Structure 1
């Protein structure tokens, strides 16, 4: 059986069609595009062989030699004009189709914005690094949420401490999207605070809240859980006891204290980021 794609005839009877992807980065973008197109033919069955981090002409020649030996064609994601031109030249010399996956789009961007691209190989790698750093921070926040493992306190960029329902978890996730590794530790009079908190006071941020607001929040929480609103968890006296205890712990740590009453998560997170940027302490 044979099929044609862009004037290229590929025999699918014996082996999978082969495409060499030449890239000045890891080649993920090129492979993704090739697979997306291949999905329209032959059930998407194609063998992709990446040739990554290409920054010299010798590597391009080697790629064409390999493609010639295996009856393959070339797809490439190169940003430097000289390298793109050389691939095109080699395609004509070897009589092997070479498809420029980025060039046309870059030229369109340049025409549209009336600007020239940076022609900086590996720019996507920098974006990918930021993305994976964010993912790592989110995974960290989940792993060390609610004091699950005190070892996270020493590994974190930020440690949030406070009694229940002071927005520790949503703040942790919000800051994780800012690529910060955040651990949070609940405080309660019956539980001795982890000693690790006192080892990293500059990482810690204390969270407090007005007792009246916390009372309402906890009552709603009990209602959601189908429990009685007069449970000890939501009693005003209990809340005062917890707040008094938490402030003593925070003062012992020597960390900044933020009152989260009537504040959106974004607002409190902004205050935390300001503290980190200034390296100072605030209270209130």
Structure 2
């Protein structure tokens, strides 16, 4: 009966790349219960490599490694010959080929792929956050948000939240309605996290009338009257004055333009 194979994975980062490649290859020969993987992450020097390779020799293991440092790769290669170890350089040949093609040296920074994964998941988390805390539906999000957008209806709070989420920013938005006091959480957070979105009353009237038309409702509904709009905007001014937060006039701005202004404000703080 064949001995259960042991595979040592050596990496200067987490070792996930090596593990996926090895598992894909092993699946052609054995199932998941018929081998053992020993992962050694964050290897930075030959002292650690020597210890791992010695252990691999003792266990008669296969060695797979992803090391961006060419000196460490060379050490494993030479040491494996001396120890009669079967070792596989998973990333080295690809790096060397790309160095020839691009005519430039690699960055020599371990874990860049993992950093990209982290950026992706952070962006997804921000998008989910924007959906969960849209339109003030859960005030608990105010304290967790990177940015809180404050404005009356139809000032692009939701599309702005989604756009900024693509930049990995967690955004909550709070609708301002005269009949409803803003949540207390809004006054407890750092006011620099809040951004007020103001709009010209005539522009808002046009937007709301078009919105009512799209919904098949009468254009003269209270929602789109000048009196109602002036009332809402006056209440908005009271709220943002109390918050003492930055305010952006979105009357003639695209979502991307407003988002860029918000990011500039955040970077300058």
Indicate the TM-score class for this superposition, using the shorter chain for normalisation: 0.7 to 0.9
* 2:18 is the alignment partner of 1:30: yes
Deviations for 1:13-49, whole angstroms, at most 9, x for unmatched residues? Answer: x85x54322101011122233334445x258746543
Query: For structure 1, which segment, 123-132 or 23-32, has the greater mean C-alpha deviation from structure 2 after superposition?
Result: 123-132
Query: For structure 1, which segment, 126-135 or 101-110, has the greater mean C-alpha deviation from structure 2 after superposition?
Result: 126-135
Query: For structure 1, which segment, 114-123 or 75-84, has the greater mean C-alpha deviation from structure 2 after superposition?
Result: 114-123
Contact 1:18 1:49 survives alignment (8 Å)? yes
TM-score (norm: length of structure 2)? 0.81
* 2:72 is the alignment partner of 1:83: yes
Q: Residue in 2 aligned with 1:203?
A: 193
Matches within 5 A, 1:1-284: 15=4, 18-38=6-26, 41-42=28-29, 45=32, 47-68=36-57, 70-199=59-188, 200-222=190-212, 228-230=217-219, 231-279=221-269
Highest RCO, 1 vs 2 (Cα 8 Å, sep ≥ 6): 2
Contact 1:35 1:44 survives alignment (8 Å)? no
C-alpha deviation, 1:140, in angstroms: 3.5
Contact 1:145 1:183 survives alignment (8 Å)? yes
Deviations for 1:56-81, whole angstroms, at most 9, x for unmatched residues? Answer: 33433443344445554221110112
C-alpha deviation, 1:223, in angstroms: 5.7
TM-score (norm: length of structure 1)? 0.78
Q: Secondary structure at the match of 1:112?
A: helix
| Cα distance change of structure 1 residues 105 and 253 upon mapping to structure 2, 3 Å threshold | same
C-alpha deviation, 1:198, in angstroms: 3.1
Query: For structure 1, which segment, 183-192 or 198-207, has the greater mean C-alpha deviation from structure 2 after superposition?
Result: 198-207
Show structure 2 runs of 5+ residues with no match.
Answer: none
